[in-house]
Amino acid sequence: MKPTTLLKIAILPSLLSISVAQALPNGASSLPEPAQIPNRLEIKQFMPDELMQVKALESYTEPAWVTEKFVNAGLLPPVKDRLPKEPIVMMTESMPDGVGEYGGVFRHSIGGRPQGWNWAAAQTQGWGGINYTVQQCLTSTGPMYQLKGEALQVLPNLATDWQWSDDKMSLTMNLLEGARWSDGELFTSEDVRFYWEDTVLEERIPSFSSADAIGAGAKLEVVDEYTIRWHFEKPSQNQALYNMSFLTFCPGPAHVLKAHHPKYTEGKTFDDFTNALPADELPAVTMGPWVPTDVKTDQIIVLRRNPYFWKVDEKGQQLPYMDEMHFNLGTWEGRTIQTLAGTADFSNMENPPIYLETLRKLAGDNAKATAMFGPRNLSWAIQMNQNPTMSVADVRQEGIRLLNRDLKFRKAISHAVDRKTLGQALVKGPFTAEYAGGFHPETSFYDADSVVYFGYDQELAKQYLAELGLKDTDGDGILNFTEGPAKGEELEIVLTVGPTSSEAALAENLNSMMGEVGIKIIPRPLDNVQNDAERDRGAFDWRTHRGEKELAIPFQRVEWIAPVAETGPLWHRGSNSDPQQLQDFEKRLAELALEFSSEEDTAKQKALMAEFNTLFTENVYHVGLVSYPGALLVNKRVKNVPNAPILAYQWAEDAVMRERLWVPKADQIAELQPETLPTHSK
């Protein structure tokens, strides 16, 4: 219905006929063309086997000090015996600066803090690239942004290859044979089974994944030490391969974890298990290229090269090239400031209020880093709690929940937001664009014609609020409920906002925009968005939310955008006592999300996504505010950095393949723990 009519209206507003107008929701339009961002990056694309291949080479080498101090001293087996039968070979063809030199330090800086090393129990290590370092997953999606369109496929990681059965009901996967954890123990199908059966499916242990997240009715069969087979209830569960990458299918070391798991060790509780690997107990056992060996609270985490890492370059040199990695424990904005100053090597610049100052500094001759702007694949939106009863504490909250579930109210809010002003409040210039919600513009699966946009129109907003029975009955400038459970109450809405300067600017501006239509906003600031108990209990009114890859590559995490399980999306969760109460359009969104996830034909998949996006935006499922680009900042001394958006299939830390980054000897900075290896490596 809408796609073509919307387009016509955008081009020929004067020809708007009554019959066309009837087909459109009142007040809707298409999204205006956004401004061009200067110096957008160009991405070089390859075939999958030009990026990596799984194969044995004739011989392998490692940094000379490892051979001399460890292998020759009998402390470690020779490198060929530490590698899998067929390692993953990172191909020279796709390396921007070619085969590298060993040594040096890669310095990250992050705003998060490690909860512990038990990611199998949903503990975070602090984000910003440290989770990506220690959590290795069955498949890899980060570097996919570099694949040619016709060759788009999930890439190997701990699983090297896979095959669907003829009826597409089961998926057989081969694991890296002979790969080892950083302490020297073999990685096998038992690690996969333990992760799935004893952590994901064990409801008493928190998990980054869930029974349904892999694919409909997923069941795991262990075929042998290096082969697993998934069985599904429905054919072609293609999203399974995406869900077996970060963050959802990165097994923990079963040989370490079983000693803390109640099923295997008497006297242990499930809480013991979750907290079994505290942040300060190092080294942590990982399959990653670097191993955490030292931590100083609120200062730094030091990681050293993993002598068992299972990737090599075409010359047979074991990766990573760099011996040491640091995570300075600071703030998210500090990350960009440090990268600018040259005291950190990498930042996803993602807080618009610091863009202009950063760009000004980067233009100088002595600039330490370069910045690459990507597409507008980040956004801000308001999420309105859609569960009518969950964690409702009083009549005001009850009234707000009912309003949140009323389309007229959501449209009123959308019309009350002046997105141009909001965008310029975040950063002046061409960066931000008006955002209608739904999928991110400028990303591969976006269809501009699918968007229904309820843009700035304060009068219409006021009219809708009045039609909803909201009226300032006591003359204090704030609307009152005149009916329903909250009758007589003022329309005060608590808005949860995170700790960045972006969110401060959003809160301030939303506050005044809502004030102009008679709604009082009470900001609830958070120190740390990751720890928000009220969000998790479904206890909030509204929250601002930064949309990420779920809105760019929609089939990757459908439970974040559609109610396919009680756990999501964040703004309509359910619990045993207060289950989700899905509205008709939500039921249809869930169906469509599952359909496009298992659709193999790209054209059909895109059509389903367009239908989804129309339904999502015409129902204002969340209130889109602005979309904007991020820029990747990397220190100039670092080689092999491909052009990369800060976020595509994964964040840039994963996408740039840090194990291949290197620094010429003359530019290397001193290591804190030179010529050492994690002490647990035997």
Distance CA 585, CA 612 (A): 10
Contacts with ligand GLA by CB under 6 A lie at 127-129, 131, 332, 348, 350, 651, 653
For residue 289, cis peptide bond before it (omega within 30 degrees of 0): no
- Beta strands 105-110; 324-329: pairing state: parallel
Q: Are 107 and 269 in contact (CB under 8 A)?
A: no
CA dihedral 11, 12, 14, 18 (to 10 degrees): -110
- Smallest gap from Cβ 643 to ligand GLA, in A, equals 17
Q: Residue 409 binds what, of Ca ion, ligand GLA, none (CB under 5 to 8 Å, by partner type)?
A: none
The two three-digit tokens of residue 499, written as one number: 């700790």
The two three-digit tokens of residue 135, written as one number: 């959590």
User: Which range touches Ca ion (CB under 5 A), out of 60-68, 102-110, 362-370, 477-485?
Assistant: 477-485
Own/partner long-range contacts of 116-119 (Cβ < 8 Å, ≥24 apart): 116/275, 116/276, 116/277, 116/278, 116/279, 117/277, 117/278, 117/279, 117/281, 117/284, 117/285, 117/286, 117/292, 118/252, 118/257, 118/273, 118/274, 118/275, 118/276, 118/277, 119/208, 119/250, 119/252
- Smallest gap from Cβ 542 to Ca ion, in A, equals 19
User: Which range touches Ca ion (CB under 5 A), out of 262-270, 272-280, 478-486, 648-656?
Assistant: 478-486
Going along 567-646, which residue ranges are E strands?
623-628, 631-635
- Smallest gap from Cβ 108 to ligand GLA, in A, equals 9
- Smallest gap from Cβ 545 to ligand GLA, in A, equals 13
Q: Residue 350 binds what, of ligand GLA, Ca ion, none (CB under 5 to 8 Å, by partner type)?
A: ligand GLA
Angle at 630 between CA 245 and CA 556, to 5 degrees: 25
Q: Which helix (H) or strand (E) holds 470?
A: strand 470-471
Going along 339-446, which residue ranges are E strands?
346-349, 369-373, 378-384, 433-434
Closest-approach residue to Ca ion (CB) = 478
Q: Residue 476 binds what, of Ca ion, ligand GLA, none (CB under 5 to 8 Å, by partner type)?
A: Ca ion
Cβ distance to Ca ion smaller for residue 478 or 672: 478
Q: Residue 373 binds what, of Ca ion, ligand GLA, none (CB under 5 to 8 Å, by partner type)?
A: none
Cβ distance to ligand GLA smaller for residue 24 or 641: 641
Cβ distance to ligand GLA smaller for residue 426 or 615: 426
The two three-digit tokens of residue 635, written as one number: 């220190």
Q: Residue 474 binds what, of ligand GLA, Ca ion, none (CB under 5 to 8 Å, by partner type)?
A: Ca ion
Q: Reduce the DSSP state of residue 39 to 3 states and report it.
A: coil
Between residue 480 and residue 499, which ones bind Ca ion under the rule CB under 5 A?
A: 480
Cβ distance to ligand GLA smaller for residue 53 or 331: 331
Cβ distance to ligand GLA smaller for residue 62 or 653: 653
Q: Residue 128 binds what, of ligand GLA, Ca ion, none (CB under 5 to 8 Å, by partner type)?
A: ligand GLA
Closest CA to 369 of 627, 109, 613, 577: 109
- Smallest gap from Cβ 126 to ligand GLA, in A, equals 8
Q: Residue 443 phi/psi, 5° resolution?
A: -115, 165
Cβ distance to ligand GLA smaller for residue 29 or 502: 502
- Smallest gap from Cβ 407 to Ca ion, in A, equals 24
- Smallest gap from Cβ 490 to Ca ion, in A, equals 5
Q: Point out which residues pair with 524 in neighbouring strands.
A: 496
Q: Residue 348 binds what, of Ca ion, ligand GLA, none (CB under 5 to 8 Å, by partner type)?
A: ligand GLA
Show the binding pattern over residues 437-476: x = contacts Ca ion (CB under 5 A), - = does not: -----------------------------------x-x-x
Cβ distance to ligand GLA smaller for residue 28 or 632: 632
Cβ distance to Ca ion smaller for residue 471 or 680: 471
Q: Residue 478 binds what, of Ca ion, ligand GLA, none (CB under 5 to 8 Å, by partner type)?
A: Ca ion
- Smallest gap from Cβ 239 to ligand GLA, in A, equals 20
- Smallest gap from Cβ 519 to Ca ion, in A, equals 11
The footprint of Ca ion on this chain (CB under 5 A) covers a number of residues equal to 5
- Smallest gap from Cβ 144 to ligand GLA, in A, equals 16
The two three-digit tokens of residue 226, written as one number: 């290096």
Q: Which helix (H) or strand (E) holds 312?
A: strand 311-313
Cβ distance to ligand GLA smaller for residue 111 or 554: 111
Own/partner long-range contacts of 401-409 (Cβ < 8 Å, ≥24 apart): 402/484, 402/485, 403/468, 404/541, 404/542, 405/583, 406/468, 407/619, 407/620, 408/464, 408/467, 408/468, 409/464, 409/465, 409/468
Q: Residue 131 binds what, of Ca ion, ligand GLA, none (CB under 5 to 8 Å, by partner type)?
A: ligand GLA
Q: Residue 29 binds what, of ligand GLA, Ca ion, none (CB under 5 to 8 Å, by partner type)?
A: none
Cβ distance to ligand GLA smaller for residue 293 or 650: 650
Distance CA 65, CA 24 (A): 70
Distance CA 100, CA 317 (A): 9
Q: Residue 480 binds what, of Ca ion, ligand GLA, none (CB under 5 to 8 Å, by partner type)?
A: Ca ion
Distance CA 292, CA 290 (A): 7
Cβ distance to Ca ion smaller for residue 295 or 514: 514
Q: Residue 161 binds what, of Ca ion, ligand GLA, none (CB under 5 to 8 Å, by partner type)?
A: none
Distance CA 99, CA 659 (A): 12
Q: Residue 555 binds what, of Ca ion, ligand GLA, none (CB under 5 to 8 Å, by partner type)?
A: none
| Backbone φ/ψ region at 437: left (φ over 0), alpha (ψ -120 to 50), beta | left
Q: Residue 49 binds what, of ligand GLA, Ca ion, none (CB under 5 to 8 Å, by partner type)?
A: none
Report how far apart, in Å, the C-alpha atoms of 492 and of each of 227, 383, 399 are.
57, 16, 10
Cβ distance to Ca ion smaller for residue 254 or 493: 493
- Smallest gap from Cβ 491 to Ca ion, in A, equals 8
End-to-end Cα, the chain, rounded Å: 65
- Smallest gap from Cβ 332 to ligand GLA, in A, equals 6
Neighbours of 64 (CB within 10 A): 10
Q: Are 39 and 373 in contact (CB under 8 A)?
A: yes
Within 13 Å of residue 516, how many CA atoms lie on the same side as its CB? Answer: 17
Cβ distance to ligand GLA smaller for residue 198 or 350: 350
- Smallest gap from Cβ 331 to ligand GLA, in A, equals 11
- Smallest gap from Cβ 552 to ligand GLA, in A, equals 14
Cβ distance to Ca ion smaller for residue 281 or 476: 476
Give me the residues that bind Ca ion (CB under 5 A), please: 472, 474, 476, 478, 480
